[in-house]
Amino acid sequence: MPSSIDIASNALLLIGDNPISSFDDDGAGAKVAANLYPETKKRLLSEHPWSFALKQQRLNKLSQKPDVLTHFKNAFQLPTDLIRIWNIQSHSDYILIGNLLYSNENEVLATYVFDVDEVNLPPHFTKSLEYTLAADFAISVTESVSMSEKMESKAMTFTSKAMAIDSQGRPQTAIIDSPIINARFGGNRFLIMALWQFQSNMNRGELDPTLVGRIDIQAYYNGLRTATNVLTAPQGGAKRRPGQDFLGVSIDNGRLENFSFNVEQSYLLVFTDLKMQIYKDDVLQTNINGSGF
């Protein structure tokens, strides 16, 4: 299994630098890796409830009552390997300050992300970490903004795929019990298996129905089954389709076409029966009549 040195070396190789045998090696690569590796790893672990990095633990209640935040009765010690609290099972309010959790509960069960040793990292996370490190290393090692942006794009792709793979292996079970269901199924309780998958990148837009189930291609993880009245962005997000402007009345039923002569000259062409209207900058420029269309 790869070590932290192996992962950092692979990240350096991705940006064209030499591998290292120790974080104490001479050279810019080793110094940058030694400084950035721990925090980059923790940052990536904190971005998702990775199944391999989650722990549940009953927090240790301190015997001494809180001398601050006196509206809370108890203080609890947070785990030493904690990176991020993901869930607290509590029936009352609580607050996190420093390495303590304050609550009125007598017992607190915490689900949290912890700092996983490299030997226990799955391959999909390791690959994501390598590209994330490469993006962080690139500016300091190569002084190339374009290299950093390239690695950042790769890191987003591999991280999205890693999150999807991780989520696929974690089905959630819900027991449905309601008067409506009892009436429909004669009071029998049944299980519904739900598979939750995290998706942060939608830049492939709406996929062709024939691609449903194609988990072997990247578009499956970055695409949408249905995308109605939305525009997807190259960065991965999506937003509502903007409204339309009223420019004028078409001569007859027809179709609209965009025409770009260059980056500064774009036109809207309105084709109807034997006629064409030309708009530029939302203003009608001319009407063309003829028989050659």
What confidence tens digit (pLDDT) does each residue in 12-42 have? 999 999 999 999 999 999 999 999 999 999 9
CA distances from 26 to 21, 32, 256 (A): 10, 11, 63
Q: CA–CA separation, 51 vs 171, rounded Å?
A: 11
Please, what is the average pLDDT of the chain?
A: 84
For 187-232, strand residue ranges (E) read 190-195, 230-232
The Cβ-side half-sphere exposure at 200, using a 13 Å CA radius, reads 15
Q: CA–CA separation, 167 vs 160, rounded Å?
A: 11
pLDDT surpasses 70 at 106: yes
pLDDT of residue 175: 46
22-26, 160-164, 198-202, 226-230: which range is least confident on average? 198-202
pLDDT surpasses 70 at 144: yes
Question: How confident is the model over 227-268, as pLDDT tens digits?
Answer: 888 888 888 888 888 887 777 777 788 888 989 888 788 899
pLDDT of residue 292: 47
pLDDT surpasses 80 at 202: yes
Q: CA–CA separation, 101 vs 242, rounded Å?
A: 45
Percent of the chain with pLDDT over 70: 87
Q: Is the pTM of this model over 0.75?
A: no
Confidence category of residue 273, pLDDT binned at 50, 70, 90: confident
Are 267 and 286 in contact by the 8 Å Cβ rule? The answer is no
pLDDT of residue 195: 47
Confidence category of residue 180, pLDDT binned at 50, 70, 90: low
| In the block, residue with structure tokens 């409204």 | 243
Structural Rg of the chain based on CA atoms? 28
Q: In the chain, where are the structural domains located?
A: 4-49+119-168, 53-114, 209-240, 255-289
pLDDT of residue 159: 92
Q: Which amino acid is at 103?
A: S
Q: CA–CA separation, 115 vs 54, rounded Å?
A: 9
Q: Which of 55, 259, 2 is nearest to 270 (CA)?
A: 259
Mean pLDDT for the stretch of residues 98-112: 90
Mean pLDDT for the stretch of residues 50-60: 92
